[in-house]
A and B are shown apart, each in its own frame.
Chain A
């Protein structure tokens, strides 16, 4: 009994001590004031130095909170109960959030730096006139491969993934849109196709890929490919640049049949309190110098023309990450398929995953 009482007393004392310490740290870091801005973003998706600079320039204290998937983030914003002033969802999430009334309209007068964004990344189907969102980073979906291990394959076409010499050598992203899109693209269909016959055809073709697939994984795909765990991987371009930064042997290509063009955009969710500060932050991130520094830190492709001009040639001139117009014209942005169609894509993808060798 004495031992029990002692243990609980110790636990209580330690907890109180820690609470006091946290409060002290919070205060010394300035998090307890009123003039704060809560940013809800992917982990490590902004250069922390820039956050410090923003704080210095504006006197606003930044609270950085993180999520690990668009869907989880949407659930949190939908339920409310907490403040998020700025968030950075992907484009399909933006069109869904718009539909559900989770976003606030932006005041373009407060965003003078908007003029630096490449016009071809503005006014896209998921957000006409950019009423709700401003491009942050963009990229493609393609293939990372190790030229030493794939013989004469160059992946100009998606079909080369089905080649027999790639037995157990392919890693796929765990995403229904990405994998189904690959199947559809390889058949020269649109990756937004809703035709049931086309979808079934794509599923049947994907099933033939099963022997070549080593695993279907998430973010760890970067580590696995950099470690040469497999010769080929289906990835987002942002991940590809990171993988290639770690392992120089690897190369990245977007097959010619076409692929996906994705965007992560800054938005102000309906949970915002500091709307003025949120506009200030978005405008700050659009500043060419700031955007350039952020691009070098994060490694994704920037939509900011002026920032691109500031970047060294080996980044801005890299056709793999800033593709020519000719290729860009064949890329498609994911449409919002509607809940039912999306669920159907996921069902088909699940069947593909369950298909045993």
Chain B
């Protein structure tokens, strides 16, 4: 049993090593005075100073986070509603149609989504900027939330809901007390995937942004022609460390708070 444990640990360590290798590579070179991602010359913090001196870049970073958080939260709510709606559809054909429509945005390349959203927004007359970017990030994050939540709903046995109803629970109570707690892991997964989509997106944002509003990936891509400077590496390092601290911190705080509550719930 112990030998087995060892192997499984090695496997996990390997997976994590590969996942983090390119990130550590970026972080390592952010301290390179040589100015490029080859031949480490000597240690410097110049690029970090550059980041903090660049107000425009900082504004862009904040914009990026606001968009990511808000779009992830709203698309999670929409996506959960969508998943419940799809789940309620009993007959097979409409259900498949809904699911297919749901997945269109996942299969469509970003450029097409971006270009058609741009045409859409100018047709409706939405001013390009914060609102248009937020709307499109919500739009392309909804399907992934549905995909993450739906399997959970399908696992949930209907007897559970029937039992709750028999005990006199209202629709709202059924949702809040039975359904949502059951599909919670799916909701979290959806939220984090939506966050990932939003932070990663370049093409869609590029098309629908305007009037001085910009996000980090648009900025990074457009710097490619001139060569991405190491201050972007420094910035990514800061963001990465910040999110790691945030995630780990949130996790432990949450765990401490959740423990007594969980016991209560189970008892």
- A interface, CB within 8 angstroms of B: 1-4, 6-8, 10-12, 14-15, 18-19, 21-22, 25-26, 28-29, 31, 36, 38, 42-45, 63-68, 72, 75-76, 79-83, 218-220, 222-223, 226-227, 242, 246, 298
Are A31 and B212 in contact, with the CB atoms below 8 A? yes
The reply to whether B72 and A11 form a contact with Cβ atoms under 8 Å apart is: yes
The reply to whether B223 and A44 form a contact with Cβ atoms under 8 Å apart is yes
**Bound Cα distance from A12 to B76, whole angstroms:** 13
Asked if B8 is at the interface (CB within 8 A of a chain A CB), the reply is no
Contact of B122 with A42 in the complex, beta carbons under 8 Å: no
Supposing A1-B176, A226-B36 touch, asked if A82 and B227 sit within 8 A by C-beta, the answer is no
Q: Is there contact, CB below 8 Å, between B56 and A29?
A: yes
Alpha-carbon gap, A15 to B63, bound state (A):
10
Note all chain A residues with C-beta closer than 8 A to B187: 4
Inside 8 A of A28's CB, which chain B residues have their CB?
Answer: 55
Cα separation A227 to B209 with both chains bound (whole Å): 35
Distance in angstroms between the alpha carbons of A81 and B119 in the assembled complex: 10
CA distance A297 to B38 in the complex (A): 21
B contact residues, total (Cβ < 8 Å): 55
Name which residue of chain A comes closest to B76, CB basis: A8
Inter-chain contacts of A7 with B (CB < 8 A)? 188, 191
A-B contact pairs, 7 of them (CB 8 A): A3-B184, A28-B55, A38-B212, A42-B226, A63-B212, A82-B128, A242-B226
Which residues of the partner chain A approach B35 to less than 8 Å between Cβ atoms?
246
**CB of B181 within 8 A of chain A?**
yes
Check if B51 is an interface residue, CB within 8 A of chain A. no
Residues of A within 8 A of B211 (CB): 38, 82-83
Q: Give the residues in chain A near B227, CB-CB below 8 Å.
A: 44, 219, 222-223, 242
Determine the residue in chain A with the shortest Cβ distance to B64: A18
B54 CB, min distance to chain A CBs, angstroms: 8
A81 lies within 8 A of B222 (CB): no
Asked whether any CB of chain A lies closer than 8 Å to the CB of B59, the reply is yes
A72 nearest in chain B by CB position: B206
Question: Nearest chain-A residue to B58 (Cβ)?
Answer: A25
Residues in A neighbouring B210, C-beta threshold 8 A: 65, 76, 81-83
Task: Give me the 6 closest cross-chain CB pairs, A-B, nearest first.
Answer: A82-B210, A66-B222, A43-B223, A43-B222, A44-B226, A219-B224
- Closest Cβ of chain B to A76, distance in Å, is 7
Tell me the nearest residue of chain A to B176, going by C-beta. Answer: A1
Does B239 touch A at the CB level, under 8 Å?
no
Taking A72-B206, A75-B115 as contacts, is the C-beta distance between A66 and B62 under 8 angstroms? no
Task: Evaluate contact between B224 and A43: CB separation under 8 angstroms.
Answer: yes
What sequence of 0s and 1s flags, for each residue 202-238 of chain B, a beta carbon within 8 Å of any chain A beta carbon?
0000110111101000111111111101000000000
Q: Is the CB of B223 within 8 A of A220?
A: no
Chain B: which residue is nearest A32 at the CB level? B212
Closest to B178 in A: A1
Tell yes or no: B113 within 8 A of A by CB. Answer: no
